[in-house]
């Protein structure tokens, strides 16, 4: 019998997208594409597709806690990705569960603003993300509107304004901040990474595609997977390289998205571009 190959075990805590392009479904596809074993805890059921969200049904906090306990009691988790969390009760139970059995890496995608610009959570939910989950996380991945909501400031419109915002974000408590600049205009998408040791621009050419459904979910879960594969002795440079690898993977998934034909609206990225 051949020896069992080790595999990194990762967890996503997020909402479900029945169309498969975002949320839990995108996260699990990303984990698999990057060679990790994915587990999941569902925080909300949504009725959505490539054209928009029709409804959201939050999962009761008590059942989210049951899901977390069921996974964490049985499986040693190497890294966790946290997606949209709309209530303080849920934020606090997630923090309690992960603090008691802390994985090496926690990545927070603070999903608070829809692509339409609509704020998805109320003030209490914003405070819960900022005060409870950001300090718990090792990495946060806000886009520009989400960063503005976290800090209660205007949305940056230039790279200089991004640079000015990042120190304020790092003061919220996460060691690594990836401020995503895709909302800026221009031929390139500039992301600014702040680590305990450096500030570094991670830039990529802008891809002319409407297939942007789930890009934020997929990037944060890709970062979770690449960080999960680092050793316990990994350095800051290793973490920067892992985040860069995740960005490169998403860029290729966006480039390959035209090979898919899914839905009538904004389609998904091609999570399995390297496999199919």
| CATH number of the CATH domain containing 13 | 3.40.1190.20
How far, in Å, CA of 211 to CA of 147, rounded? 23
- Cβ–Cβ < 8 Å for 240, 195: yes
Is residue 272 one of the residues assigned to a domain?
A: no
How far, in Å, CA of 133 to CA of 21, rounded? 25
Q: Could you tell me the two tokens for 58?
A: 């939050």
- Cβ–Cβ < 8 Å for 116, 46: no
Domain with 53 in it: 9-259
How far, in Å, CA of 93 to CA of 96, rounded? 5
Is residue 205 one of the residues assigned to a domain?
A: yes
Secondary element (H or E) of residue 179? strand 176-179
How far, in Å, CA of 246 to CA of 249, rounded? 5
Is residue 193 one of the residues assigned to a domain?
A: yes
Is residue 70 one of the residues assigned to a domain?
A: yes
Following DSSP, what letter does each residue of 214-237 receive, concatenated?
A: THHHHHHHHHHHHHHTS-TT--HH
Is residue 276 one of the residues assigned to a domain?
A: no
Is residue 266 one of the residues assigned to a domain?
A: no
Residues with Cβ < 8 Å from 138, sequence gap 6 or more? 105, 106, 107, 174, 175, 176, 227
For the chain, what is the domain count?
A: 1
pLDDT tens string for the chain (276 positions)? 555 668 999 999 999 999 999 999 999 999 999 999 999 999 999 899 999 888 889 999 999 999 999 999 999 999 999 998 978 999 999 999 999 999 999 999 998 765 545 556 677 888 889 999 999 999 999 999 999 989 999 999 999 999 999 999 999 999 999 999 988 888 888 999 999 998 999 988 899 899 999 999 999 999 999 999 999 889 999 999 999 999 999 999 999 999 999 999 999 999 999 999
CB atoms within 10 A of CB 204: 15
How far, in Å, CA of 114 to CA of 249, rounded? 23
In this prediction the pTM is 0.95
């Amino acid at each position: 019998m051949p020896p069992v190959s080790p595999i990194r075990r990762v967890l996503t805590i997020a909402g479900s997208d029945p169309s498969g392009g975002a949320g839990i479904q995108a996260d699990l596809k990303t984990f698999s594409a990057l060679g990790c074993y994915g587990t999941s805890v569902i925080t909300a059921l949504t009725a959505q597709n490539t054209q928009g969200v029709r409804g959201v049904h939050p999962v009761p906090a008590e059942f989210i806690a049951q899901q977390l306990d069921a996974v964490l009691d049985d499986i040693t988790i190497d890294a966790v990705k946290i997606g949209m969390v709309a209530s303080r009760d849920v934020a606090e139970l997630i923090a309690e569960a992960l603090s008691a059995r802390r994985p090496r890496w926690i990545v927070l995608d603070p999903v608070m603003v829809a692509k339409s610009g609509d704020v998805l959570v109320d003030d209490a939910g914003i405070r819960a993300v900022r005060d409870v989950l950001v300090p718990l996380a090792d990495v946060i991945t806000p886009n520009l509107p989400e960063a503005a909501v976290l800090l209660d400031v205007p949305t940056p419109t230039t790279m200089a304004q991004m640079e000015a915002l990042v120190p304020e974000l790092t003061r919220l408590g996460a060691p690594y901040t990836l401020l995503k600049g895709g909302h800026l205009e221009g031929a390139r998408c500039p992301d600014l990474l702040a680590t305990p040791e450096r500030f570094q621009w991670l830039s990529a050419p802008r891809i002319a595609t409407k297939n942007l459904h789930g890009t934020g979910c997929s990037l944060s879960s890709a970062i979770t997977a690449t960080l999960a594969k680092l050793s316990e002795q990994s350095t800051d440079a290793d973490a920067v390289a892992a985040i860069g690898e995740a960005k490169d993977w998403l860029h290729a998934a966006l480039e390959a998205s035209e090979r898919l034909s899914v839905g009538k609206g904004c389609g998904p990225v091609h999570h399995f571009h390297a496999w199919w």
